[in-house]
Amino acid sequence: MTALARGVVLLASALLLGAAPAPPGYGPVPSRSPQTAVVQKYVDALRGGNYAAAFALLTGDMRRYFGDADAYRSVYRADGYVLEQATIVGARGDDRGRVFFVRERFGYVDHATDARKVLTAVVPLGVLPEHGVPHVKDPGKPYRAFASASSADASGLHVVVKKVDFFPDRIDVVVTFVNDGSDYVTLLPYGRSVLRDDRGGVYRITASKDWTVTDKRLFEGVPLPPGAEYTGSIAFAAPRFGDVRRSWTLTVAPALREGSDAPFDVTIPIEPQS
């Protein structure tokens, strides 16, 4: 299993939904509570694909974080997310603020294989009062995202951009590398890779030892045998954008083909998937 194949479980359950295993000892679900009612409305809206309704139930700071319902919807669509079942199984807190634990079964696209998968996880949803009305706090997601199938080739290396996630301090690009050559190629994208936009923005790679952000295998270098592929994520330092509707170009560098004297790079113009 590739790093992303393992990480997509975290993505589907943590980045999309703020997921974590329900801790032991959470209490019963309050009956006839406005807090319980708003959580039920929220998961019902997600299950029905009514993202505008779900967005309207978020806390004010969460609505400001996404900016609008279209940006909120894009985060789910980028992973092909479909909520199939949702059951509130427990809660913790009081009327000033409560965390509800929801067992969810949902489908998503595994970007490493392009196959649809199904995951069941218990996810927490916070509820906070605003002007006396409970609203849902559902953190941990990018504020906008889009899927892509843009690709380019160089020296027998095929590179496909699968998804782009926008966070307040960075842009994460999910990339698949396929070695179509007859010799090993070593991927070293945490060396000189760069992301550019059509407004003159240049975004440099960010490499921390936080392996939830930095892909450890790509950071250390991936020797890819002939016919093999690897899917991982590359993070670029970037501010939050008021408008992300721009053209993007990713240059992945360096890569080194066995038997070659010089490294090479691959540049991919990125287009959102229609």
- Per-residue pLDDT tens over the stretch 116-174: 999 999 999 999 999 999 999 999 999 999 999 999 999 999 999 999 999 999 999 99
Whether the per-residue pLDDT at 1 is higher than 70: the answer is no
Question: Do residues 87 and 60 both lie within one domain?
Answer: yes
Q: Look at residue 11 and tell me whether its pLDDT is greater than 80.
A: no
CATH code for position 199: 2.60.40.1240
Q: Under the phi-then-psi rule, with left for phi > 0, alpha for psi from -120 to 50, and beta for the rest, what region is 80?
A: left
Local structure of residue 25 (DSSP, 8 states): T
- Residue that terminates a domain, selected from 120, 141, 162: 141
C-alpha dist (Å) from residue 152 to 30, 180, 192, 226: 54, 12, 17, 18
Residues 159 and 62 in one domain: no
Per the listing, tokens 């609008």 go with 68
**Are the C-beta atoms of residues 136 and 41 closer than 8 Å to each other?**
no
CATH of the domain at 112: 3.10.450.50
pTM of the model: 0.89
Backbone angles phi, psi at 221, to 5 degrees: 105, 135
Q: Are 256 and 188 in contact (CB under 8 A)?
A: yes
First-to-final CA distance of the chain: 28
Q: Which domain holds residue 179?
A: 145-270
Task: Give yes or no: residues 257 and 157 share one domain.
Answer: yes
Predicted confidence (pLDDT) per residue in 32-65, tens digit: 999 999 999 999 999 999 999 999 999 999 999 9
